Amino acid sequence: MRLNSRVILSAALGCGLLFMHGSRLQAQNAKASSADSATASDTSQDQEVDPLKRPRSDKERFAAQKAVRQELKGAYKTWLDQDVAYIISDEERKAFRNLSNDEEREAFIEQFWLRRNPNPDSPENEFREEHYRRIAYANEHYAAGKPGWKTDRGHIYISFGAPDSIDSHPSGGAYTRPMDEGGGETSTFPFEVWHYRYLEGIGENIDIEFVDTCMCGDYHFTIDRGEKDALSHVPGMGATQWEEMGMAKKADRFKGGFESLGNGPLGSGESSKQFDRIELAAKLFAPPPVKFKDLDNFISEHKLIEGPIFPFDVRTDFVRVTDNTVLVPITVQIKNRDITFVTKTGVATGVVNILGKVTTLTHKTVQTFEDTVEVEQPAELLEKSLDRRSVYWKALPLLPGLYRLDIAIKDVNNPDHVGLYGSALNVPEFNDEKLATSSLILGDEMNTVSSHDIGQGSCIIGNTHICPRVSPNPATPVDFKRGQELNFWMQVYNLGIDEATKSNQAMVTYQITDTASNAVVFEKQLESKDLGAHSDQLTLERTLPIAGLQPGKYKVTIKVNDEISKQEIAQSAPFVVQ
C-alpha cells in the first residue's frame, strides 16, 4: 500500500540489580546482640514491613514458578499437547508454559490461530477450521490402538493435508523391488508411499514412506526403504538381483548407512542421498513458519519494548451499515519526523509495519489487519516534509458491542523502534426507532469519488473521500491552519417519514462556536428535503474556509430537529485554528 507520505513497532525494558554488602565484623556484632534485643527488633520490623511487599527469596521465587507451570492442566494442557502438538513452535510452547493465568492463556490461543489465518480480515479462521478437520479425519482413518492424530500418518496428514497420490500395499506380500532398491523379488510388511507434488518450504515431488512392521495397522514413518522388506533378516530368502548374481552379499546391507537396501547398479548413487532423507525428515516434522510473529509478540505475549517508543495517534469512528453491522474506520496517524528514512537514488523512503486486532471481552479475535506502508519523499524535500503527518486508514465491519482494539507499529529501518496502542472499543447499536448519527468527522480534504471507487480505497466512506484529523487523545482538539479548509462529514439515521408525502421533514443546523467566548461565529440552516427528501438517512457534508477565523479554540456542532418523529439530536467536535 502507498500514500503520499506513508506509514508503521517497540519501548524500554528495565532491569534491576540486587546487591549485598556486609563485613564479618558486623556479622559478629550482630550475633553478639542479646536475644531480647533481637526479638524486639524483629517484632518492630514485622510491624513496619508489609509482608506482601517483602522481596521473595530465590527459593520462594522458584517454588512459585514451579507452581505456575503445574497449573497447566485440563483443557489448556490438551490444547498444547494434542490440538496443536504438530504446528506449535518451540518458542511458542515455551511462552505458553510460562503464562501465569487462564486469561493470558486464552489471549495466547486466540493470537496463535490469528498468526496462521490466511485471511486475517475474516472473522472465520480457515486455517483453524482446516486443522481440526484434519485431526478428525486422522482419528477416523489412522487410529491404531491409539488416536489417529498420534500416528505418523496422522501427523503428516494434519501438517500437510491429503497427499496427491498414495501407493498403498495394505497386505504386504510379494514385491518386486525397483533397481534403486536393489531389484529382485521379496515379501514386504504392509506399507504406503505418500507422494506430494509440492510442499511449501520443503520442495517438489516429495515421497514419504510408512511401514507397518507390527502388522497392527500402526504405520510409522521411515527413512529406510529397506525396512518394509519382511525377508531381510531371513537367511537365504529375499535376495536382491545383485545378490542372486553373486555380486553382493546380503550381510552388506547392514554394514552402515541409514538404509538397509541391497547393493545394485544404482546403489552408490542412492547411498549419497541418505543425508537428503534425514534433512527431509527434519523438515517434515518441524512446525510450519508463522507470519508477522515479531509484531504479534508485543500484543499477544506482552513483550516489552526494548528501544525508543514509536509514537502514533489513533482515532476510531462509527458508521451504520445495516441494522446489525457498524463500519468502524480506524485511522492511524504518525509524524514523519518519528519515521526513520533511508535515502537511495535521490529518494528518501520510510517503511512502517502495522498490525492490529479487535477482540471481545472473552479474548475471541473477531478482526485483524496488517499492512506494510511506505512514506516516500524526494531527498531534497525530506527536511520540509518532516513536519507533516502520514495517515493509515482501515475500515472494519463489526457487530454492536464492547471490544478491545490493539495496534502495534514498527519502524522497518529501525527495528527497535516500536509503538503500541490498546483501548476499549464500544461499537454503538443504532435502534430503528431512535434518531441517531454517525461520528462527526473533521478533515482538511474532502471530495466525491467516482462510482467505480465507491466504498474502495483509503479514507473512502460511501462516495466521499475524507481523511479524519487525529488528535493524541479524544479530549484534545484537532488542529487546522488558517490557510486550510474545514471539512466535516456526518450521517443521520432513522428520520421520520410522512405517510402522506413519503418524505422527511427535519431542520439541519450547522454552527461554529468560539469556545473561549461561547459566541456563534457561523451558523447555517438547511431543510432535510434539500439533502434527500425521501430517505430516512442523510449524509451531511460541508466545507468551510477558516481563513477568517482568528487563532484559537472552536467547536463545530450539527443539530438535527426531526419534525415528524419529534426528536432532536446533535453532534459536536472541537478544533483549534493555528
Predicted confidence (pLDDT) per residue in 198-216, tens digit: 988 888 999 999 999 998 8
- Retrieve residue 406's grid coordinates: 490493539
Q: What is the CATH number of the domain that holds 302?
A: 2.60.40.10
Q: What is the CATH number of the domain that holds 466?
A: 2.60.40.3880
Q: How confident is the model at residue 177 (pLDDT cuts 50, 70, 90)?
A: confident
Q: How confident is the model at residue 114 (pLDDT cuts 50, 70, 90)?
A: confident
Give me the mean pLDDT over the 340-366 stretch: 88
Kindly state the percentage of the chain with pLDDT values over 70.
79
Same domain, 331 and 391: yes
Same domain, 453 and 574: yes
Predicted confidence (pLDDT) per residue in 223-234, tens digit: 888 889 988 888
Instruction: Please indicate, yes or no, if residue 85 is contained in any of the structural domains.
Output: no
* Most confident range, picked from 62-76, 353-367, 407-421, 510-524: 510-524
Same domain, 408 and 444: no
Q: Tell me, what's the pLDDT at 7?
A: 37
- pLDDT above 90: residue 221: yes
* Residue range(s) defining the domain that contains residue 389: 1-12+293-429
Tell me whether strands 567-577 and 478-480 are parallel, antiparallel or unpaired: parallel
DSSP, residue by residue, 417-480 = -EEEEEEEEEEPP--TTS-EE---EEES-EEEPPGGGTT-STTEETTEEEPPP--SSTTSPEEE
In angstroms, rounded to a whole number, what is the distance separating the alpha carbons of residues 205 and 194? 10
Mean pLDDT for the chain? 80
Give me the mean pLDDT over the 473-480 stretch: 85
Same domain, 416 and 459: no
Q: Tell me, what's the pLDDT at 36?
A: 46
- Cβ atoms of 12 and 303 within 8 Å: the answer is no
Instruction: Please indicate, yes or no, if residue 93 is contained in any of the structural domains.
Output: no
- Please count the structural domains in the chain: 3
Same domain, 194 and 227: yes
Tell me whether strands 203-211 and 401-411 are parallel, antiparallel or unpaired: unpaired
DSSP, residue by residue, 217-285 = S--EEES-GGGGBTTTTSTTSS--HHHHTTSS-GGGGGSSSS--PPP-TTHHHHHTTHHHHHHHHHHHT
Q: Tell me, what's the pLDDT at 554?
A: 94
**Cβ neighbours of 227 (radius 10 Å):** 19
Instruction: Please indicate, yes or no, if residue 458 is contained in any of the structural domains.
Output: yes
- pLDDT above 50: residue 369: yes
Q: Which residues pair with 368 in a beta bridge?
A: 357
- Retrieve residue 35's grid coordinates: 536475644
Tell me whether strands 365-378 and 389-398 are parallel, antiparallel or unpaired: unpaired
Q: Tell me, what's the pLDDT at 544?
A: 84
Same domain, 440 and 563: yes
Last residue of a domain, one of 377, 405, 429: 429
Give me the mean pLDDT over the 68-78 stretch: 67
In angstroms, rounded to a whole number, what is the distance separating the alpha carbons of residues 551 and 549? 6
Instruction: Please indicate, yes or no, if residue 94 is contained in any of the structural domains.
Output: no
Give me the mean pLDDT over the 322-340 stretch: 88
**Cβ neighbours of 568 (radius 10 Å):** 12
Predicted confidence (pLDDT) per residue in 438-472, tens digit: 999 998 889 888 766 655 678 888 778 898 999 88
Q: Tell me, what's the pLDDT at 518?
A: 92
Give the global pTM.
Answer: 0.51
Last residue of a domain, one of 236, 263, 284: 284
Length of the chain, please? 578
In angstroms, rounded to a whole number, what is the distance separating the alpha carbons of residues 81 and 71? 14
Q: Which residue has the higher pLDDT, 348 or 233?
A: 348
